[in-house]
Amino acid sequence: MAGAADVEIVKLQSSDGHIIAVPTDVAFLSKTVKNMVSDVGLDQLSDGIELPSISHEVLQKVVEWATHHKDDPAPAEDDENRAKRADDIDQWDADFCKVKQPMLFELILAANYLDMKGLLDLTCKTVANIIRGKNPEQIRAAFNIRNDFTPEEEEQVRKENEWCEESK
């Protein structure tokens, strides 16, 4: 029987130089990390895998999510014919995503960089749920986006996209 000492560890180094030691079963939820280890070998990465676009705070959240989901079945490949749902988030994940917007968007970027489909889907669904049912002005307010359209440009966009409003 394998003991705790037999667990292989991957060191992940954040953009600000912090190193987090992570068991391989957690780290390999990232296809990027898994491919790096597969290509080079764990022994060649003993100083850690540099993740230059991920801060320590964000990396800690990513590891928290991966630790919770390490035993989950692999996410299904996207099926273009299958409807995408944003209302199937379990309570732990919903609580995990209750972070300030900058952190949520940093998690999206990290999940994309690390090729972690489950985390990317979760964070994008969270943003979709924030947007759901809001008009453009409310979305701009929610995300602090300045409207740089002139009234004429905005009217032109509305006319070009009237078909979007027909199904409501």
Note the residue count of the chain.
168
pLDDT digits (tens, 9 = 90+) for 42-95: 878 878 899 999 999 999 999 999 999 999 887 666 655 455 666 778 999 999
Q: What pLDDT does 76 receive?
A: 65
Percentage, residues of the chain above pLDDT 70: 86
- pTM metric for this prediction: 0.81
Backbone angles phi, psi at 76, to 5 degrees: -65, 150
pLDDT digits (tens, 9 = 90+) for 31-45: 999 999 988 888 788
Q: What pLDDT does 159 receive?
A: 86
| Residue 51 CA: distances (Å) to CA of 36, 58, 110, 113 | 12, 11, 9, 9
Q: Are 108 and 116 in contact (CB under 8 A)?
A: no
